[in-house]
């Protein structure tokens, strides 16, 4: 304040004020956390966190928004993540883990879960879907399989009781091994042991107008039989494709064939009104010596070509007018995932924010967590810029006579400019 009073005594010309002003605006823009709004990329990304070396959610929020990612899928409802995306346009799918599914059969538990993990974030964080369980029919937990639909129904009713039905979808994500037959696509059928669960589950999805989610990995087919599965067909590279003899539809890639086999299986159980979305797909950039094709080159080709198809808003041969809706797996390499080495190499990014391969996806991962009290040189540098900008703002504000423009107003730089141009025109004292 002492500085402000002194400079108030000797007033510089309007022109020099404008120069100072430009500097201030630049400083405010630099310190003022200006991140591009998400609108560009129509791809979704799975944000898995089975790792002990990942950046904090607030840094990841910068990374995703700087990449213009508009859809993120979580495997839980991590409050740190959901809070880090308040007031952004990013859409979220949140999850109830398999270990919590059976508890949700109790309507009171489902309501408590929604009230704690979903409702407080709405509408500032755009939660649009809840997945109840992940790949439940892949395992052999019969109690879990039996509880899945009742848990989904409780979650749906809890949303309805809170007036949120229609704003948040309720579904579950399946592994492709629910399929008994998947080729040709028109012959797609669920496994016989899955059908008794699937029939009522489809009835629910149809009633709740919620999508059917499937995790599809053409990589698994390639890895299982690299000698016979053509690489070009699984990597979306130019190839003659295969024709479904029943429908005469031609498939130039395995992912679309898998999705259409799911549509056929759903139709065989009497439903044509349910959208199929790809809740996971990806390709590992590394693996064990016996895991064929797990290289950065193939992973980059798969993801790069998939991105192109998504940008083209392509549909599958069976649903050409419905653009494929895809969540890529995954944002980061996750170092604590069990299983073969490939499981720890599905990330688009290393934990330090550098891309694993170049498919034109680049983002800015801030070097430090601004929301925590970490004192590094970078944070101090930014803080000193912000403090300096605030000092200059303070000085300017004391100079001005009413009506003073409001600093809180988003159009502040403009009103400030007009304040001073007015000042120079009328020659205020
Ligand atoms: C989910 O399950 C875990 C492990 O059993 C438990 O610790 C946690 O409290 C459960 N969460 C909810 C919301 O029920
Ligand atoms: C499920 O299968 C695994 C092996 O696939 C087996 O170890 C386990 O005992 C089975 N559990 C049940 C409940 O059958
Ligand atoms: C819910 O799913 C349906 C079917 O896929 C979709 O049309 C709708 O936009 C989804 N609702 C929200 C809130 O995302």
Residues with CB under 6 A from ligand 3: 128-129, 167, 169, 209-211, 275
- Closest residue by CA, ligand 1 atom 13: 113
- Closest residue by CA, ligand 1 atom 4: 99
Tell me which ligand sits closest to the C-alpha of residue 206.
Answer: 3
Q: Are residues 29 and 141 in the same domain?
A: no
Q: Are residues 332 and 384 in the same domain?
A: no
Report CA(140)–ligand 2 centroid distance (Å).
Answer: 6
Assess whether 280 carries a catalytic annotation. Answer: yes
The residue with tokens 């669960």 is: 197
Phi/psi-derived region of residue 87, left when phi > 0, alpha when psi is between -120 and 50, beta in every other case: left
Q: Are residues 47 and 25 in the same domain?
A: no
Is residue 358 a part of any domain in this protein?
Answer: no
Round to whole Å and give the CA distance between 332 and 55: 10
Catalytic one among 5, 34, 91, 280? 280
Is residue 22 a part of any domain in this protein?
Answer: yes
Q: Are residues 290 and 400 in the same domain?
A: no
| Ligand 1 atom closest to residue 117's alpha carbon, by position in its atom list | 13
Q: Are residues 28 and 53 in the same domain?
A: no
Q: Are residues 239 and 321 in the same domain?
A: yes
Encode pLDDT of 204-233 as tens digits.
Answer: 999 999 999 999 999 999 999 999 999 999
Report CA(107)–ligand 1 centroid distance (Å).
Answer: 16
3-state per-residue secondary structure call for the chain: CHHHHHHHHCCCCHHHHHHHHHHHHHHHHHHCCCCCCCCCEEEEEECCCCCCCCCCHHHHHHHHHHCCEEEEECCCCCHHHHHHCCCCCCEEEEEECHHHHHHHHCHHHHHHHHHHHCHHHCCCCEEEEEEEEECHHHCCCHHHHHHHHHHHHHHHHHHHHCCCECCEEEEEEEEHHHEEECCCHHHCEECCCCHHHHHHHHHHHHHHCCCEEEECCHHHHHHHCCCCCCHHHHCCCCCCCEECCCCCCEECCHHHHHHHHHHHHHHHCCCCCCCEEEEEECCCCCCCCCCCCCCHHHHHHHHHHHHHHHHCCCCECCECCCCCCEEECCCECCCCCCCCHHHHCCCCECCCCCECCCCCCCCCCCCCCCCCCCCCHHHHHHHHHHHHHHHHHHHHHHHCCCCCCCCCCCCHHHHHHHHHHHHHHHCCC
Encode pLDDT of 257-304 as tens digits.
Answer: 999 999 999 999 999 999 999 999 999 999 999 999 999 999 999 999
Q: Are residues 27 and 47 in the same domain?
A: no
Q: Are residues 148 and 100 in the same domain?
A: yes
- Tell me which of 305, 323, 344 is where a domain ends: 344
The closest alpha carbon to 179, from 214, 154, 206, belongs to: 214
Is residue 356 a part of any domain in this protein?
Answer: no
Round to whole Å and give the CA distance between 120 and 114: 9
Q: Are residues 229 and 320 in the same domain?
A: yes
pLDDT at 364: 86
Q: What are phi and psi of 262, to 5 degrees?
A: -70, -45
Tell me which ligand sits closest to the C-alpha of residue 139.
Answer: 2
Q: What are phi and psi of 270, to 5 degrees?
A: 100, 10
Catalytic one among 34, 91, 99, 135? 135
- Closest residue by CA, ligand 3 atom 3: 210
CATH number for the domain that contains residue 292: 3.20.20.80
Report CA(338)–ligand 3 centroid distance (Å).
Answer: 33
Is residue 390 a part of any domain in this protein?
Answer: yes
| Ligand 3 atom closest to residue 275's alpha carbon, by position in its atom list | 5
Q: In a mutational test of the pocket of ligand 3, which residue from 167, 211, 213, 322 has the highest number of ligand atoms less than 8 Å from its CB?
A: 211
Range of the structural domain that residue 386 is part of: 2-33+374-426
Q: Are residues 79 and 208 in the same domain?
A: yes
Encode pLDDT of 129-148 as tens digits.
Answer: 999 999 999 999 999 999 99
Q: How many angstroms separate the Cα of 201 from the Cα of each of 95, 161, 276?
A: 17, 21, 14
The closest alpha carbon to 74, from 47, 100, 114, belongs to: 47
Report CA(208)–ligand 3 centroid distance (Å).
Answer: 10
Report CA(106)–ligand 3 centroid distance (Å).
Answer: 25
Cβ-based burial of 391 (10 A; exposed 0-12, middle 13-18, buried ≥19): middle
Q: In a mutational test of the pocket of ligand 3, which residue from 94, 207, 210, 325 has the highest number of ligand atoms less than 8 Å from its CB?
A: 210
Q: Are residues 143 and 178 in the same domain?
A: yes
Q: Residue 399: how many CA atoms within 13 Å on its side-chain side?
A: 23
- Closest residue by CA, ligand 3 atom 8: 210
Residues with CB under 6 A from ligand 1: 99-100, 103, 113
| Ligand 1 atom closest to residue 109's alpha carbon, by position in its atom list | 14
- Tell me which of 297, 323, 344 is where a domain ends: 344
Question: pLDDT under 50 in the chain at which residues?
Answer: 1-12, 16, 18-39, 372-375, 409-411, 414, 421-429
Is residue 402 a part of any domain in this protein?
Answer: yes
| Ligand 3 atom closest to residue 168's alpha carbon, by position in its atom list | 13
DSSP lists the bridge partners of residue 127 as 92
Q: Are residues 340 and 401 in the same domain?
A: no
Q: Label the pairing between strands 242-243 and 250-251.
A: antiparallel
The closest alpha carbon to 59, from 366, 371, 380, belongs to: 366
Report CA(78)–ligand 2 centroid distance (Å).
Answer: 30
Is residue 365 a part of any domain in this protein?
Answer: no
Tell me which ligand sits closest to the C-alpha of residue 144.
Answer: 2
Report CA(129)–ligand 3 centroid distance (Å).
Answer: 8
Report CA(257)–ligand 2 centroid distance (Å).
Answer: 31
**Number of domains comprising the chain:** 2
Is residue 240 a part of any domain in this protein?
Answer: yes
Find out whether the peptide bond into 101 is cis, omega within 30 degrees of 0: no
Q: Label the pairing between strands 179-181 and 189-190.
A: antiparallel
- Closest residue by CA, ligand 1 atom 14: 100
- Closest residue by CA, ligand 3 atom 2: 210
Round to whole Å and give the CA distance between 114 and 107: 11
pLDDT at 392: 74
Q: In a mutational test of the pocket of ligand 1, which residue from 77, 100, 154 has the highest number of ligand atoms less than 8 Å from its CB?
A: 100
Is residue 393 a part of any domain in this protein?
Answer: yes
């Amino acid at each position: 304040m002492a500085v402000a009073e002194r400079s108030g005594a000797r007033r510089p010309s309007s022109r020099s004020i404008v120069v100072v002003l430009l500097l201030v605006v630049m400083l405010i823009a630099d310190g003022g956390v200006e991140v591009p709004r998400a609108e560009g990329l129509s791809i979704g990304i799975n944000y898995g966190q089975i790792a002990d070396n990942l950046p904090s959610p607030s840094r990841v929020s910068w990374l995703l928004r700087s990449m213009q990612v508009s859809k993120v899928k979580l495997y839980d409802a991590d409050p740190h993540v959901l809070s880090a995306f308040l007031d952004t346009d990013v859409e979220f799918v949140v999850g109830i883990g398999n270990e919590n599914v059976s508890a949700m059969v109790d309507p009171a538990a489902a309501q408590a879960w929604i009230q704690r993990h979903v409702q407080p974030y709405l509408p500032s964080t755009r939660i649009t879907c809840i997945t109840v369980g992940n790949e439940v029919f892949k395992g052999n937990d019969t109690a879990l399989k039996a509880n899945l639909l009742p848990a989904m129904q409780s979650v749906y009713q809890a949303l309805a009781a809170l007036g949120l039905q229609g704003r948040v979808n309720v579904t579950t994500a399946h592994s492709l091994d629910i399929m008994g037959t998947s080729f040709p696509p028109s012959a797609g059928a669920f496994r016989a042991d899955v059908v008794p669960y699937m029939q009522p589950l489809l009835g629910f999805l149809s009633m709740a107008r919620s999508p059917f989610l499937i995790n599809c990995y053409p990589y698994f087919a390639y890895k299982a039989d690299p000698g016979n599965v053509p690489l070009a067909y699984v990597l979306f590279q130019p190839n003659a494709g295969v024709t479904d003899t029943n429908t005469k539809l031609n498939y130039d890639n395995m992912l679309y064939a898998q999705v259409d086999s799911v549509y056929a299986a759903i139709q065989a159980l009497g439903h044509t009104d349910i959208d199929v979305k790809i809740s996971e797909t990806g390709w590992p950039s590394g693996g064990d010596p016996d895991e064929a094709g797990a290289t950065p080159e193939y992973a980059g080709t798969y993801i790069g070509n998939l991105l192109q198809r998504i940008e083209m808003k392509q549909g599958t041969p069976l649903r050409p007018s419905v653009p494929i809706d895809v969540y890529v797996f995954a944002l980061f390499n996750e170092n604590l995932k069990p299983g073969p080495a490939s499981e720890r190499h599905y990330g688009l990014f290393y934990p330090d924010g550098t891309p694993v391969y170049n498919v034109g996806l680049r983002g800015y991962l801030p070097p430090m967590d601004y929301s925590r009290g970490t004192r590094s040189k970078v944070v101090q540098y930014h803080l000193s810029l912000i403090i300096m900008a605030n000092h200059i703002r303070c000085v300017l504000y004391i100079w001005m006579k009413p009506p003073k423009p409001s600093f809180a107003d988003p159009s502040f730089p403009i009103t400030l400019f007009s304040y001073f141009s007015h000042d120079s025109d009328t020659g205020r004292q």
